[in-house]
Amino acid sequence: MATPVEMPKLGNTVEDCLLSKWIKQKGDSVAAGEIVAEIETDKATFEVPAPAAGVLLATFFEEGSLAPVFTNICVIGEPGEDVSAFAPGGAKAPSPAATVDQPAAAPVETQAAPPVAAAAPVPAAETFASPRARRFAEEHRMDVRGIQGSGPGGRVLEQDVRDAFYTKPRPSVVVVETAAQAEPAPAKTTAMGGIRDKIARRMREALASTAQYTLTASADATALLAMRAKIKARRGELPDINLNDLVLFCTVKALLRMPQLNAELKDGKLQQYAHVNLGFACDTDRGLMVPVIRNAHALTLAELSVAAKDLADRAVKGRILPDELSGGTFTVSNLGSLGIESFTPIINAPQVAILGVDAIDLRMVRRNGRVEIEDRIGLSLTCDHQVIDGAPGARFLGVVRECIEDVAALSGLKV
């Protein structure tokens, strides 16, 4: 009996996945549990195993296309079985004979069907669209009528509305290759798509839906550097806690003292949280990812360090789960290791603020009427002015500075 293979749901917020590669081709024999395809969410790659043994009779999506979750992407069965009943709405299932290279039947002359008249416009309330698609359309003042749906039965999904909103014009990434020759080589143009395209959309949406401004300050990094030096000297006795771990820990403590910034603005309503789910920007070959350390406020410094390293390692290797990339209440982006002295981080909407961490540099400061030179760490805080005014943002930076300068006492770690 033919067995359909569905696009799995890989997280609470995942509506569709990119079918990045077919491991098995139509007509191939497949064993139960054998991988038939690779799929991608916004951030990670996963494998789809075969639920049963047989022959791959039909595939319903091409490589590089988006497929809604719980939608059939292919069918496994015995040669000659009819698989048309498993095709998603609007998809055409290839005949089993064609997929397994059996001789095709002789063509039969048929009379062309008369053209079908276009359906009359349907009121928005009756449009066959998902709730998230309708909400996106309302927020962006779009009419979902006339949008071709890719969901089951032609249902309009959020991705369909997003694609309609952003397709004119589509941006492209231009990479110019240079060479030492008389005639320059032609520019290489690559269409931007997949995960990079989704990151671009999120960034545009974040800037379009918020009123962002950035404040910069610095903190005395003497205590941070001293603590890190002691931890390195006692390697093996103490956890390998790095400077980023220390700053993340201090940020959590600051958010507990000023919870106004530990919040999200959703549908015009401000949700302020008592718990801290701390996101942190992570650079990977697949693009920017933001793993989330859940309940970071309840972790010790050592526990937070272990959690951050585990999430970052799996993000870089493409093994992180979608739910581990969502649910953050505040985000930290650290570019200090790359020598950046100041920058304007973009808020991870619907959060209301993000902290940028800059490089540690020697700077002159005036203290007690004297000019001294000390190591200082730069801080760049971006806030949503819809929620956080300049004064509260400045006060939060002051609290972060106090926590950094008193990190040894806050950590409770005996070094």
pLDDT tens digit sequence for 180-230 = 555 677 887 766 666 677 778 888 888 988 999 999 999 999 999 999 999
Sheet holding 212-220, edge to edge: 212-220, 370-384, 353-367, 330-334, 278-280, 292-293
pLDDT at 317: 86
Say if domain 3-99 classifies as CATH 2.40.50.100: yes
Strand pairing category for 278-280 and 292-293? antiparallel
Say if domain 211-411 classifies as CATH 3.30.559.10: yes
Nearest to 130 by CA among 267, 264, 13: 13
Section 77-85 average pLDDT:
91
pLDDT at 306: 94
Q: Where are the domains of the chain?
A: 3-99, 211-411
**CA dist., res. 330 & res. 172, Å (int):** 31
Residue 271's DSSP bridge partners are 264
**CA dist., res. 142 & res. 166, Å (int):** 12
Residue 415 pLDDT class (50, 70, 90 cuts): low
Q: What are phi and psi of 217, to 5 degrees?
A: -155, -175
Q: Give the number of other CB atoms < 10 A from CB of residue 113.
A: 6
Nearest to 238 by CA among 223, 227, 249: 227
Q: Is residue 120 predicted with pLDDT exceeding 60? A: no
Specify which of 6-10, 75-79, 128-132, 155-159 reaches the highest per-range mean pLDDT: 75-79
pLDDT at 14: 76
Q: Check: CB of residue 83 under 8 Å from CB of residue 100.
A: no
The token duo for 15 is 């509506």
Q: Is residue 116 predicted with pLDDT exceeding 70? A: no
pLDDT at 255: 97
With 0-12 CB in 10 A as exposed, 13-18 as middle and 19+ as buried, what is 402? middle
pLDDT at 219: 96
Q: Is residue 34 predicted with pLDDT exceeding 50? A: yes
Q: Is residue 156 predicted with pLDDT exceeding 60? A: yes
Which residues are identified as catalytic? Answer: 385, 389
Residue 172's DSSP bridge partners are 191
Q: Is residue 73 predicted with pLDDT exceeding 70? A: yes
The token duo for 172 is 């492209």
Q: Check: CB of residue 312 under 8 Å from CB of residue 305.
A: no
Report the alpha-carbon angle 330-296-283, nearest 5.
Answer: 60
DSSP one-letter code for 63? T
Residue 121 pLDDT class (50, 70, 90 cuts): very low
Distances (CA, A) of 229 to 177, 234, 245, 396, 409: 44, 9, 14, 27, 16
DSSP one-letter code for 315? H
**What are the pLDDT digits (tens) for 167-191?**
644 444 455 555 555 567 788 776 6
The token duo for 296 is 């970071």
**What are the pLDDT digits (tens) for 283-337?**
988 788 899 999 999 999 999 999 999 999 999 888 888 889 989 999 999 999 9
Q: Check: CB of residue 397 under 8 Å from CB of residue 217.
A: yes
Q: Is residue 414 predicted with pLDDT exceeding 90? A: no
Residue 159 pLDDT class (50, 70, 90 cuts): confident
**CA dist., res. 168 & res. 162, Å (int):** 11
pLDDT at 43: 63
| Identity of the residue numbered 406 | D
**CA dist., res. 246 & res. 304, Å (int):** 9
Q: Is residue 13 predicted with pLDDT exceeding 80? A: no
Nearest to 27 by CA among 4, 54, 3: 54
Q: Is residue 5 predicted with pLDDT exceeding 60? A: yes
Q: Percent of the chain beyond pLDDT 70?
A: 82
